[in-house]
Structure 1
Amino acid sequence: MTLLHLEGVTRTVQLIDAPPLTILSGVDLEVNVGDRVSIVGRSGSGKTTLLNLLGLLDNPTSGTMLFEDRPVQSLSSGARDRLRGREVGFIFQQFNLLQGRTALENVMTPLLYAEGRQFWKRARIATEMLERVGLGDRLGSLPDRLSGGEQQRVAIARALVRGPRLILADEPTGALDLETGETVMDLIDQVATESGAALVTITHDPAIAARATRHLRLDHGVLQSTSTVPA
């Protein structure tokens, strides 16, 4: 089943006193349920822009983008926000944790927009997810009391807590040591498998890229498949 379909997608931004800047050019991509996709590329190649499009944070400038056969461009901002909150889990490189909120409160945040059991059992569900990433003893800790690696694990727990259909990971193990990084990737893979989610990972780590079944390279806004794990 196709989860995401992009055809001829471009992303252009208007600059002040300069010609428009094309960041993505003619991107074609299909992501199926359960896919494992890695995307590599140099800094400035458009990886973050592409991730924002896949995560419904931005709209393409032109081309076709479908999420489960629904044209993304035709959705209202509210409908897109609800779809993103329900179906997409982001693991950001910069963590983006809410300062002044505990680890538990950060992980509970996506569940505030859930319904039924997920809403009413949100504290228990968030606690269980933090335990799975090895932070069961840091539930009440604020972000500034956590190490970089611990903050990354909180961010990962927050992204996975709703069992999203699409997981988007931007350098998910960048702040972790090798052993913890492997454990966290095992967890991401496990949760993705349990929920049937697709996992799209942006990474510079060949070991992380090797976990994917499809390998793509983004170069100057052009997305291409590669038959080998990018180095």
Structure 2
Amino acid sequence: MTIIRLEDVTRTVALPDGRPLTILSGIDLEVFEGDRVSIVGRSGSGKSTLLNLLGLIDSPTSGEVWFEGAPARSFSAAGRDRLRGRRIGFVFQQFNLLARRTALENVMTPLLYDGGRDFWRRRQIATRMLENVGLGHRLDLPPDRLSGGEQQRVAIARALVRRPRLILADEPTGALDLETGSTVMELLERVADETDAALVTITHDPNIAGRSTRHYRLDAGVLSIRDEARR
């Protein structure tokens, strides 16, 4: 099943003098259920813009974005927000944890916006997710009392607590040492495997990119496939 598809997508913004600047050009990308995709590119290549399009944060200037078979342009702003909250999980390099909240409270946060049964079970669900990432003994600690690797694991637990269909990891190991980064990627892949979620990793690290089954390069806004492993 296709989770998200970009068809001939272009993203252009206006410079202060009114001239157009093309950030992405003619992007074609299809991500399937259970997929493992890596996108490598230098700073300024358009990686963040592409991530925002995949995460339904931005809309393309031209072309089409489809999410689970429906055109993204057909969703209202509120509908996109709900879809993003329920179906897409973001893991960032700079963990973006709430400084004055415990690990458990950070992971519970996405469930506060759930109007269903998960809202009332949010403590139980968040606790189980933190136990799943090996932090069941650190529930009540704030971020400043956790190591970098532990903070990233809290961020992963928060991103996955609603069992998203698409996980977008933006330089998820960029702030970590090599060993901790490898451990974090193993954890992210394992948790994604348990839900058969698609995992798209945006990175500049060839070792991290090599863990995926499809490898792309983004250069000056143009996406090209570099390698595709047999699954």
Q: What is the TM-score normalised by the length of structure 1?
A: 0.93
- Could you tell me which residue of structure 1 aligns to residue 52 of structure 2? 52
Q: Tell me the amino acid that sits aligned with residue 92 of structure 1.
A: F
Give 1:31's aligned residue. Answer: 31
Partner of 1:19: 19
Percent identity for Structure 1 against Structure 2: 73
Preserved CA contact (<8 Å) 2:103 2:143 = yes
Report what 1:225 is aligned to: 225
2:98 aligned residue:
98
Whichever residue aligns with residue 22 of structure 2, its letter is T
Unaligned runs of 5+ in 1: none
Unaligned residue ranges in structure 2 (runs of 5+): none
State the partner residue of 2:7. 7
Deviations 1:93-144 (A, max 9, x none): 1111122221111111111123544222211211122222232222222223
Helix, strand or coil for the counterpart of 1:99? coil
> For the Cα contact (< 8 Å) 2:152–2:184, is it kept in 1?
no
2:196 partner amino acid: G
Q: CA deviation at 1:18?
A: 4.1
State the Cα RMSD in Å. Answer: 1.7
How many residues are treated as equivalent by the alignment?
A: 229
* Cα distance in structure 1, aligned partners of 2:10 and 2:96: 27
| Contact 1:12–1:21 under 8 Å retained in 2 | yes
In 1, distance between residues paired with 2:85 and 2:228?
33
What letter corresponds to residue 160 of structure 1 in structure 2? L
Partner of 2:53: helix, strand, or coil?
helix
Moved more, 125-134 or 152-161: 125-134
Cα deviations across residues 162-220 of structure 1 (Å, max 9, x unaligned)?
11100000111223333332332222112212212100001122222111110000000
How far residue 228 of structure 1 moved from its aligned partner, in angstroms, is 7.1
1:174 aligned residue: 174
8 Å contact 1:133–1:184 — kept in the other structure?
Answer: no
Inter-partner Cα distance in structure 1 for 2:225 and 2:205: 17
Q: Is 1:143 aligned to 2:119, yes or no?
A: no
Higher mean C-alpha displacement, 79-88 vs 148-157: 148-157
Q: Distance in 1 between matches of 2:153 and 2:57?
A: 23
1:155 alignment counterpart: 155
Q: Which stretch shifts more, 186-195 or 155-164?
A: 186-195
User: In structure 2, do the counterparts of structure 1 residues 228 and 75 end up closer, same or farther at CA, with 3 Å as the change threshold?
Assistant: closer
SS, match of residue 83 in structure 1 = helix
Whole-Å separation in 2 of the counterparts to 1:158 and 1:41: 26
CA distance in 1, matches of 2:19, 2:45: 18
Equivalent residue of 2:186, what SS? Answer: helix
- The equivalent of 2:79 in structure 1 is 79
Superposed structure 1 runs of 4+ greater than 4 Å apart: none
**Counterpart position of 2:42:** 42
User: Partner of 1:13: helix, strand, or coil?
Assistant: strand
SS of 2:19 mapped into structure 1: coil
Q: Name the counterpart of 1:210.
A: 210
3-state DSSP of counterpart to 2:26: strand
SS in 1 for 2:101: coil
- Check conservation: 1:24, 1:221, Cα contact below 8 A: yes
